[in-house]
Amino acid sequence: MKLSQFGEQFTSGAGILSLMDDLGNALASGGADMIMMGGGNPGHVPEFQKIIQKRLQFLAADTASFQKLIGVYDPPQGEKDFVDVLAGLLSREYGWEVGPENICLTNGSQAGFFLLFNMFAGKCSDGTAKKIRLPLAPEYIGYADLGTNDDFFVSNRPRIEMLENNLFKYHVDFANITIGPETGAICVSRPTNPTGNVLTDSEIAQLDLLAKEHDVPLILDNAYGVPFPGIIYTEAKPVWNDNIILCLSLSKLGLPATRTGIIVAHKDIIKAVSGMNAIMNLATGSFGAMLAHEIVESGEILDISKNVIKPFYQEKMEKAVAHFHTELEGTPYKMHKPEGAMFLWLWFADLPITSHELYQRLKARNVLVVSGHFFFPGLEQSWKHQNECIRVTYSQDEEQVKRGIKIIAEEVKKAYA
């Protein structure tokens, strides 16, 4: 079978493909023996699921709602009633000048980023080529293979601040960032996947200023952040203006299967993404929007994020951190300060094996993590640090996570020995 360049790129060894294959195969085989500490699947939050179950029962019982849910195409911009109430919430709560014309839904955030990245980067009609600038690597594994041509990203190493208790923190190294004519857009995740790093309000303000100075948009990936699902354990101010493309999601709130991505942006960008939606999908799915409509309209989604979702993950994080500190004692490990999301990022300086080899050894012992080398797209020079880190998630069953941490520590100690 001879594939096009596009076909070859999207069927070859992408990091996100490897990750999802691992997860899918483990689940398909029952997953009973596999400790799932690799993916970003959210945990099951009972209090939230009760709210959604009640809403689902209403939609099933109400004839008009049920017919709309299963039998009507939404417009390319997304389910209109949901878009309207979300615009009202953002305008009311934060004073943003946001109307329905500033919001578009996509079939999951991954699809949304594919559209946005290829809208602002790649080959241009004037013969030039643009790139997506990632001002702080490591960054989300799912970005790396979204470009439709090679050499799609350019990224910068972070400045590393060493902290007490075996912790450290990445910062944007503004002294070494040069926004050249090759930059089509700037993108950061907040909290950062894979590290749980939350860029400070000051860092976001500086990036916003840089983007405006160079007439490029700033894309903020808030899949784990504010205003919802709010999985942030430090201070972070919600921010938006007409040069910021704010990307939200219902997945980490607890609705990953509904595949509902949200883009808040200038109306011209929303119009363009809506057109791409029509070409690629005809319409976006209604399921997530209709399930979440009631809690968005009332503003309850913000209370749920603050008082249900965030505490659920914060408790899991604190327990996982404590277990790692106990099990890894005596090794030269460092852990990124856990400020948000549902991941821990571990750095094993001068590890005698690569992080990918460590991943393979752990997989052989039925523990799935993600090798850190996947999270550095666009770095112009190789960096030893890339092969010394792993990402683990603590969102799943507490006892399994505890057991997984013990096995991770055993393999790390073997490697150093």
Band the pLDDT of 5: cuts 50, 70, 90.
Answer: confident
pLDDT, tens digit, 9 for 90 and up, residues 207-221: 999 999 999 999 999
Rounded CA gap, 286 and 308, in Å?
Answer: 25
Rounded CA gap, 254 and 235, in Å?
Answer: 22
Q: What is the mean pLDDT of residues 344-354?
A: 96
The reported pLDDT for the residue numbered 17 is 60
pLDDT, tens digit, 9 for 90 and up, residues 11-60: 765 555 655 566 555 555 545 689 999 888 899 999 999 999 999 999 99
The reported pLDDT for the residue numbered 259 is 95
pLDDT, tens digit, 9 for 90 and up, residues 295-304: 999 999 999 9
Q: Comparing 69-73, 192-196, 342-346, which segment has the lowest mean pLDDT? A: 69-73
The reported pLDDT for the residue numbered 21 is 63
Mean pLDDT for the chain overall: 92
Q: Which is higher by pLDDT, 278 or 2?
A: 278
pLDDT, tens digit, 9 for 90 and up, residues 91-140: 999 999 999 999 999 999 999 999 999 999 998 888 889 999 999 999 99
| N-terminal to C-terminal alpha carbon distance within the chain | 47
Closest by Cα among 378, 227, 384 to 302: 227
> What tokens were used for 126?
């004037």
The reported pLDDT for the residue numbered 33 is 81
pLDDT, tens digit, 9 for 90 and up, residues 81-101: 999 999 999 999 999 999 999
Judged against a pLDDT cut of 60, whether residue 189 lies above it is answered with: yes
Judge whether 188 and 211 are in contact, CB under 8 Å. Answer: no
The reported pLDDT for the residue numbered 4 is 75
138: cis peptide before it, omega within 30°? Answer: yes
Closest by Cα among 405, 416, 404 to 357: 416
> What tokens were used for 238?
């919600």
What's the DSSP call for residue 38? S
What's the DSSP call for residue 212? H
Q: What is the mean pLDDT of residues 284-289?
A: 93
What's the DSSP call for residue 340? B
Rounded CA gap, 48 and 255, in Å?
Answer: 10
Judge whether 188 and 224 are in contact, CB under 8 Å. Answer: no
Can you say how many angstroms the Cα of residue 366 is from the centroid of all Cα atoms in its chain? 25
Judge whether 253 and 309 are in contact, CB under 8 Å. Answer: yes
The pTM assigned to this predicted structure is 0.93
Contacts of 417 (CB under 8 A, 6+ apart): none
- Complete domains list, the chain, with CATH: 5-47+304-416 (3.90.1150.10), 72-301 (3.40.640.10)
Judged against a pLDDT cut of 80, whether residue 9 lies above it is answered with: no
